[in-house]
Amino acid sequence: MKLNGSGVFYGVSAYVIWGLLPIYWRWLEQASAFEILSHRAVWSLIFCILFLAFQKQLIKTFKLITNFRTLSLLALTSLLLSLNWGIYIWAVSVDRVVEAALGYYITPLVAVSFGVFALKEKLRNMQLISVVLAGIGVLVLTIAYGHLPLVAIGLAISWGSYSLIKKQLNAGALETLSVETIIAFIPSSIYLSYLLKNNDAQFGEELGFSLALVSTGLMTVIPLLFFNAATTRLPLTITGLLQYITPSIMFIIGIVVFHEPLQLVKIVGFLFIWIALAILGRDLYKSGGSIN
């Protein structure tokens, strides 16, 4: 199986940016998770429109809206995306970054499962070993929590499902993201209007912080464009396995930057996952001769 070089670049870039985002969301913590989520949707749409106008793709995007099947699927992906964003931002705001990292460790297993069982993709032997080891690590971490990690499960299922649908759509990254943000814009703008009317909004209180909320659009659009570009160039099994980059960075941030507690049994679970990452990295490196 040949790997697309630009697809690998886009995928790695997206996952590194997402891994660093907890620091960014914590920086915005004076606003509620729901206000940040709403600003993220509104400003993402604006930046999408600007990018579309620059690339002269506005008409092509309009055609997606006029196709009922495509619009229905994008409405579903918009809901899944908003759910994933909301859980993620809330988890960071309540010091559950490590549990969110667990969710993103589970996500590749969901994505790989979809790729194998729904799309009939094949795994190489080393990739299969990597998945098994990562699965053991996730199981150990889940048991270590002593309760059902709802944050982790919510993140994994919402993002894994989003990846599957976007892979099947096989449409332009910017165009589909624009339609998703159009759908999310309606409830988000209503909520922000409510906050402003009741003087509960942080937006407008301080110029610097207001601009920071505006920047959530860029911080959303850029990695999502990278991710969507990767999904159209790589098998879902590969994009799913590369996903482990994000929670690894989040894990380090949760422990080193935010000083969240870490038990020995959790370290064992993460070790299984890191070994799986090392095996995957070696497999991808050995296949370097077949990367375009």
| End-to-end C-alpha distance for the chain, whole angstroms | 11
Alpha-carbon distance 243 to 211, whole Å?
Answer: 30
User: For residue 288, how many C-alpha atoms fall within 13 Å in the half-sphere facing its CB?
Assistant: 5
Helices (H), the chain: 5-27, 33-55, 58-66, 68-93, 97-117, 125-145, 150-169, 173-197, 207-214, 216-231, 236-242, 245-252, 264-286
pTM (whole model) above 0.85 = no
CB-based burial of residue 143 (10 Å sphere; 0-12 exposed, 13-18 middle, 19+ buried)?
exposed
In whole angstroms, how large is the CA radius of gyration of the chain?
A: 19
At 243, list the tokens.
Answer: 């996903």
Q: How confident is the model at residue 76 (pLDDT cuts 50, 70, 90)?
A: very high
* Residues 208-229 pLDDT 10s: 888 988 898 888 888 877 887 8
Domain range summary for the chain, segments of one domain joined by +: 5-290
Angle ∠(175,112,220) on CA atoms, nearest 5:
35
* Residues 12-66 pLDDT 10s: 999 899 899 889 888 888 888 889 888 888 898 888 888 888 777 777 777 777 7
* Residues 132-183 pLDDT 10s: 888 888 788 878 877 778 888 899 889 888 878 877 776 666 778 888 888 9
Let me know: does 127 contact 273? Beta carbons within 8 Å. no
